[in-house]
Amino acid sequence: MASIKRGDTVVVISGKDRGSRGKVLKVIADKGRLVVEGVHKQKHHQKPTQKIMQGGIITKEGAIDASNVMLYCTHCHQPVKVKRQMKEDGHSQRLCANCDTVLD
């Protein structure tokens, strides 16, 4: 979970959205869930508000479990495992476990 950040490109590896790829829009760290662009679209009823005069049904991405996704490596062109490596400045960076490309 800690290895995925907002803005990452991930691939859904299980559930009905399996195989979908998208950008992480939101990380809900305390629940271990993510919102991924174009994945797990759900319909919501929008009530009319002062800003939006017309109510109706809007489609919006729902949160999915972080364990259902893997980081996508643009070098390997596939979902990959991530490994962490400590840099000299004491911060860790993420590397693709396949090809050692730095993913941060």
37/54 Cα distance (integer angstroms): 25
Longest dimension (CA), the chain: 55
Q: Which string of x and - marks every residue 82-101 that binds Zn ion (by CB under 5 A)?
A: --------------x-xx-x
- Min dist CB 103 to Zn ion, Å, is 8
Considering only 1, 28, 29, 76, the residue that binds Zn ion (CB under 5 A) is: 76
* 73 touching Zn ion, by CB under 5 A: yes
Size of the site for Zn ion (CB under 5 A): 7
36/55 Cα distance (integer angstroms): 25
Q: Which stretch binds Zn ion (CB under 5 A): 7-15, 52-60, 69-77, 85-93?
A: 69-77
Q: Specify the residue, 3 or 98, whose C-beta has the smaller distance to Zn ion.
A: 98
36/46 Cα distance (integer angstroms): 21
| Owner of token pair 């809007």 | 58
